[in-house]
Amino acid sequence: MRTRNMTRGTIVTRRVALATALVVLAGCHGPKERPTAGQPIPLGLTHVVPASEQAKAWRTFVAGLRDKWKGKTLRVISWDDNRVAGRLVPDFERLTGAKVKMELHPYQTTYLLETFLGSSKSSSQDIFVIDMPWVGKFAAAKYVEPLNAYLAKTPKELIDHRDFFKVMSSGAVWENDITGLPYTPVFVFNIYNNALLRRAGVKPPRDYDDLVRVARAVTERVDGAYGVVMNNQTGTAVGQAYFEYIYNMGGKPFASEYPGSPDYYADMTPQFTSPQSIAVVDLFKKLLKYQPPERMNVAWDARFDAFARGRAALMSTWNFDISPLLDPKLSVVGDDFGVQPILHKKGVTLNTPVGGWEIAINRHARNKDLAWDFMVWFTSPQVGTRFASAGGFPTRYSVLDNQELARRFPYYRILRQVVDTAFPAFRPQIPESFDVIEVLGTWIAKALYGELSTREAMIRANQEVGLLLKEAGYTVHGV
């Protein structure tokens, strides 16, 4: 089995502890004026580019890159689940003469290091790969370089911005600045082990009620197997899980944050005590008995491992966990699994959770033009197709519609159905997002452990998150 880093969501080095302290000392709080995010992409970037025109612009671009950056070194800091990207780096090095050094870290470590480097105005890294909820913080604190000027001087035919998934390109916009290019978008799907469902005599679940029924059946009928595995670990893991469920339960986390809202952050009064929020946490509690014994310490990597070892029949997970299931070195499941859109409450419109990463230029980088060339090269349809073929993630509709890739990765058919059911603010993209998710997850865990009732835990979450946001300058009522 693979030994994926099991410490995501924890602080694992003295270097990170130092980063944490310095971030706190830097006082990186949110803006006093309410931010806006997810605005439409500027009109100049929304035209449709014929494939032939893009291909012509690509050939010209590549010709201009030959040995252009000989003797230069590009430094990239990124998350450690995106190792596939590193396989393509040697091609850029051979083309340009540059050296590319990718520094990979677990999720929370990446955030802490990047905020430390940004707050200290360090030039030691040229590119930050940032998760979508961090966009607001990194833009407001001026950690990343706005890309508007770079896009203006780059041929539109080369970028073909409209070809990027809409949810990713709009999610990179903050206060009219384009903060990054879509790098590795990921979406949450429900994955099921066909063999375990057959042994239990049940079919894949269709909604949340069905999820409980199927999880119970597998746990009771299949020796050594459990119905489901979920992220229950205190803090970020279970806090993020809440956001994956709340919209599909028919609720919303904050008063004005919901799909179709004219202004996601106009009213940030927490809704954690709403019937829908209570129902989410109660669902988590109800499913605990159908999960492996280590259930309370499960986060991303442990969740994958339990499913890949055939110990759990169901998991809702990001699509970066799908391809590794086919690797016999990592999984015993093989190809005997199914993929379906994330479950939702009967009668509620599907909202697919979106995450994924934007690639951005460090505001204080030494090699900004080199960084831009790498970003344009990597996010192009040409390299994007190769990235997806190697087990990466499509960022463009043209790559997702590639028939050869669709044959190799059958889940692309499901992804094509749901990609436009996502909205960028499914987790708030405000500067305080990381803290909000961590605090919420801390209180949810107390309910799961039985230390507090669900309602009492969510009342406490309402109070603490509401106060945090009110002090940051947002409109919050009742705190």
Q: What is the pTM of this model?
A: 0.84
User: Does any domain span residue 15?
Assistant: no
User: Does any domain span residue 341?
Assistant: yes
Higher-confidence position of 447 and 22:
447
Same domain, 215 and 317: yes
Same domain, 46 and 156: yes
Same domain, 148 and 230: no
pLDDT at residue 51, as a whole number: 84
Same domain, 40 and 96: yes
Same domain, 116 and 172: yes
Among 396, 416, 436, identify where a domain stops: 416
Residues with Cβ < 8 Å from 241, sequence gap 6 or more? 230, 231, 232, 284, 441
Residues 82-92: pLDDT tens digits?
A: 678 889 999 99
Q: How far apart are CA 231 and CA 277, in angstroms?
A: 17
Query: Please, what sign has the CA dihedral across residues 92, 97, 98, 99?
Result: positive
Same domain, 346 and 199: yes
Q: What is the mean pLDDT of the chain?
A: 90
Q: How far apart are CA 126 and CA 137, in angstroms?
A: 18
User: Does any domain span residue 477?
Assistant: no
Same domain, 110 and 253: no
Residues 293-305: pLDDT tens digits?
A: 999 999 999 999 9
Q: What is the CATH number of the domain that holds 340?
A: 3.40.190.10
User: Does any domain span residue 242?
Assistant: yes
Q: How far apart are CA 86 and CA 226, in angstroms?
A: 35
Q: Do the beta carbons of residue 311 and residue 224 sit within 8 Å?
A: yes
Q: Is the pLDDT at 258 greater than 60, yes or no?
A: yes
The encoded tokens of residue 30 equal: 């949110």
Name the pLDDT band for 292 (thresholds 50, 70, 90).
very high
The encoded tokens of residue 343 equal: 């479950």
For residue 58, the SS3 value is helix
Per-residue pLDDT, averaged over 117-144, amounts to 96
User: Does any domain span residue 26?
Assistant: no
User: Does any domain span residue 479?
Assistant: no
Among 389, 416, 443, identify where a domain stops: 416
Same domain, 442 and 398: no
Structural domains of the chain, count? 2
- Please give the residue range of the domain that contains residue 219: 188-353+428-471
Q: How far apart are CA 327 and CA 325, in angstroms?
A: 6
